[in-house]
Amino acid sequence: MKVLVTGGAGFIGSNLSDQLLASGHEVVIVDNLATGKRENLPPGATFREVDIRSEDLHEVFRLETPEIVFHHAAHIDVTRSVRDPAYDASVNILGALNVLECCRQYGVRKVVYAGTGGALFGEPSYLPVDESHPVDPISPYGVSKHTVEHYLFAYRQNFGLEYTVLRYPNVYGPRQDPHGEAGVVAIFALQLLSGERPTIFGDGTKTRDYCYVGDIVKANLLALNTPVCGVYNLGRGIEVSDLQIFQAVRDAVGVDISPIFGEKRPGEVEHIALDAARAKGELGWQWEVDLDEGVAKAVAFYRALPERKLQ
C-alpha cells in the first residue's frame, strides 16, 4: 500500500521508512530538512521537501493519495519548548492539525502517531507508568504532544479517521541526531569517541526508559497491520539513570573518561519508565534489544562516521 511518513528524513522516521520499503510498501516522505538529513532518505522513497505547517502539504496529499500516514515530524526539544512554547505549539499542534486536515480531505484511512511517554506524565506517582496514569506534563512539549491525541480522538469520532498512538520512551540507535536530551546516547558517543568529557545535567540519578530504534520501528509496523485503534505506551519498563547510560556508552567506546555534572535543565522529569503491557497484549509488541547490545550498535554507527563531530 502507499504510506506517507512525515519526518521521514529524521532519526526514527528514516529507520521506519527503510523497513516499510523492505516490506513492499510504496513510501512518500515529507520533511522540511530542518533537523532531518537528506542522506537519511532511503532509495526508492518519494521525497517531498515540505513543512507540515505549509499549505503546500495539501498538494502533496492530493497528488500522492496515501492510505496510511505515519506522523513523526515534530519539534522535540524539551528545553526549547520551555523557552519558546509558541514555536513548539506551532509545529506540534498546528502542524499536526494541518496533517489531519489533509488526511480528512484526501481519504487517508489511518494515522499512526509518534507520541511521547517520557514527557507526558509529569513526575509519576508510580513506575512503570501505564496508560491509566494521570497525564500532567510539566513541559510545553509534553502538552503539545498530548494535545494531538485529543484531536485524533475527535477526528475519529467526527470523520472516521482511524488512529494508533504510540507513546515513545527515549529512543536511541543509528542516525540519532546529537541534539537535546533525547539524543544523549549520540551525544555521549560522539564526545567520548573524540576524547571529550560529556556533561550530565543534574547529579546523574535522573532516570529514563531507553529503547532501541529497531524495536520502535517494529511497533509501527504492527500498528500498520492491525485494526486496533488506541493509545499504547512503548518501552522496556526499566529505569536507567543518566550515570548508567553514560557508563554503558563509555564501555562500548572503550575509554576511561569521567563526566562533568552541570545544572539540571528546566522542564525535565526526574524519573520515568513505561509499562508496555497493553502494547504486548493488543499489538503483539515486545522489545527485543537489550541496552548493552543496542548501545554497542549505536556506538559502532558513530565510530564509522567520516567526521565525528556534534552538529
Task: Delineate the domains of the chain, giving CATH numbers in brackets.
Answer: 2-171+210-233 (3.40.50.720), 174-208+238-273+289-303 (3.90.25.10)
Query: Does 141 qualify as catalytic in the annotation?
Result: yes
Give per-residue pLDDT as tens, 272-298: 999 999 999 999 999 999 999 999 999
- Active-site residue, from 141, 163, 168, 172: 141
pLDDT digits (tens, 9 = 90+) for 147-202: 999 999 999 999 999 999 999 999 999 999 876 556 899 999 999 999 999 999 99
Identify the pLDDT of residue 309.
52
Amino acid identity of residue 99, one-letter, is V
CB contact at 8 A, 232 and 282: yes
Phi, then psi, of 168 in degrees rounded to 5: -80, 145
Q: Where does the pLDDT of residue 266 fall: very low under 50, low under 70, confident under 90, or very high at 90 and above?
A: confident
> How much is the pLDDT for 67?
98
Exposed/middle/buried for residue 208 (C-beta within 10 Å: 0-12, 13-18, 19+): buried
Q: Identify the burial level of 60 via C-beta atoms within 10 angstroms of its C-beta, where 0-12 means exposed, 13-18 middle and 19 or more buried.
A: buried
Grid cell in block for residue 191: 564526545
Through-space distance between the first and last CA atoms of the chain, rounded to whole angstroms: 36
Q: How far apart are CA 96 and CA 210, in angstroms?
A: 26
Please check whether residue 195 is in contact with residue 258, taking contact to mean a CB–CB distance below 8 angstroms.
Answer: no
Tens of pLDDT along 47-103? 999 999 999 999 999 999 999 999 999 999 888 999 999 999 999 999 999 999 999
Answer whether residue 310 shows pLDDT above 80. no
Question: What pLDDT is attached to residue 20?
Answer: 98
Considering the chain, what percentage of its residues have pLDDT values greater than 90? 91
* Distance from C-alpha of 3 to C-alpha of 7, rounded to nearest angstrom: 13
* pLDDT given for residue 268 in this prediction: 86
Output the CA–CA distances (angstroms, integers) from residue 221 to 5, 13, 112, 264, in the order listed: 12, 12, 10, 36
How would you write the chain as a 3-class SS string?
CEEEEECCCCHHHHHHHHHHHHCCCEEEEECCCCCCCHHHCCCCCEEECCCCCCCHHHHHHHHHCCCEEEECCCCCCHHHHHHCHHHHHHHHHHHHHHHHHHHHHCCCCEEEEEEECCCCCCCCCCCCECCCCCCCCCCHHHHHHHHHHHHHHHHHHHHCCEEEEEEECEEECCCCCCCCHHHHHHHHHHHHHCCCCCEEECCCCCEECEEEHHHHHHHHHHHHCCCCCEEEECCCCCCEEHHHHHHHHHHHHCCCCCCEEECCCCCCCCCCCECCHHHHHHHCCCCCCCHHHHHHHHHHHHHCCCCCCCC
Query: Which set of grid coordinates corresponds to residue 123?
Result: 513526575
In tens, the pLDDT along 97-123 reads 999 999 999 999 999 999 999 899 999
**Predicted TM-score of the model (pTM):** 0.95
Q: CB of 71 within 8 A of CB of 145?
A: no
